[in-house]
């Protein structure tokens, strides 16, 4: 009988050991899964934060921001070279037309400088999306709005020609992302 009790104790001990081992394994797997989920959330937060940071840079850049205002308004007053001047959409189209290189006005130069800065950030946005630094959805607003203006029939041809002259395939790709 003594051996029988020993055998039972041995079986129970081994059963509890196996059960405990399985429980620990399942707990470890669950913790691993939870940790992976937390890492994915942390990555998404970092991606969204990187997008916000780049968007903040774009809108903190005086000239790039002025380009967004020029896209947003048909006509608006701007201050440059020590004076205030109205800039209309037709002025923007004229300045971005490559054949105005010969005798650009100070207004043309101001407009081009603004759009050059803007396109610098557009290139960075596209490159960042391509390199998975962040996702398009992180910048959908407000960039979808500006892309719709750039892709508008009245403005598209001139703006695309300017971008080609600027040598930026990334900018073209960026604006094409928003065509549906």
Question: How do residues 44-73 score in pLDDT, each as one tens digit?
Answer: 999 999 999 999 999 999 999 999 999 999
- Determine if the peptide bond prior to 68 is cis (ω within 30°): no
Question: How do residues 100-138 score in pLDDT, each as one tens digit?
Answer: 567 889 999 999 999 999 999 999 999 999 999 999 999
d(CA 52, CA 58): 10
128, 54 Cβ separation under 8 angstroms: yes
Partners of 78 in the β-ladder:
85
- Joined together, the tokens standing for residue 93 give 């189209």
73, 146 Cβ separation under 8 angstroms: no
Q: Tell me the CA distances in angstroms from 144 to 107, 109, 126, 128, one per residue in order.
A: 27, 27, 13, 16
- pTM equals 0.82
More confident residue, 113 or 12: 113
111, 87 Cβ separation under 8 angstroms: yes
pLDDT at 17 over 80: no
Mean pLDDT across the chain = 89
Question: How do residues 81-110 score in pLDDT, each as one tens digit?
Answer: 899 999 999 999 999 986 656 788 999 999
Domain ranges in the chain are: 45-176
Residue 87 backbone class (left: φ over 0; alpha: ψ -120 to 50; beta: rest) = beta
* Residues found in the chain: 180
d(CA 158, CA 91): 12
SS3 assignment for 39-78: HHHHHHHHHHHHHHHHHHHHHHCHHHHHHHHHHHCCEEEE
Q: Tell me the CA distances in angstroms from 61 to 54, 102, 158, one per residue in order.
A: 11, 28, 24
The pLDDT value given to residue 35: 85
- Joined together, the tokens standing for residue 94 give 């004229």
Q: How confident is the model at residue 20 (pLDDT cuts 50, 70, 90)?
A: confident
pLDDT at 76 over 70: yes
First-to-last C-alpha distance (Å) of the chain:
82
The pLDDT value given to residue 154: 77
Residue 66 backbone class (left: φ over 0; alpha: ψ -120 to 50; beta: rest) = alpha
């Amino acid at each position: 009988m003594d051996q029988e009790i020993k055998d039972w104790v041995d079986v129970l001990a081994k059963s509890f050991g196996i059960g405990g081992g399985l429980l620990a394994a399942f707990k470890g797997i669950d913790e691993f899964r939870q940790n992976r989920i937390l890492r994915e959330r942390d990555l998404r937060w970092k991606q969204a934060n990187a997008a916000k940071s780049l968007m903040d840079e774009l809108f903190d850049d005086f000239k790039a921001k002025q380009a967004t205002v020029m896209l947003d308004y048909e006509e608006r007053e701007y201050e440059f070279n020590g004076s205030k001047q109205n800039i209309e959409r037709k002025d923007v189209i004229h300045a971005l037309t490559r054949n105005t290189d010969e005798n650009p006005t100070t207004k043309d130069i101001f407009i081009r400088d603004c759009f050059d800065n803007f396109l610098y950030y557009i290139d960075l946005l596209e490159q960042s999306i391509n390199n998975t630094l962040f996702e398009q959805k992180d910048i959908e607003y407000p960039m979808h709005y500006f892309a719709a203006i750039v892709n508008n029939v009245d403005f598209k041809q001139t703006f695309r020609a300017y971008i080609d002259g600027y040598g930026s395939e990334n900018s073209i790709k960026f604006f094409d992302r928003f065509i549906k």
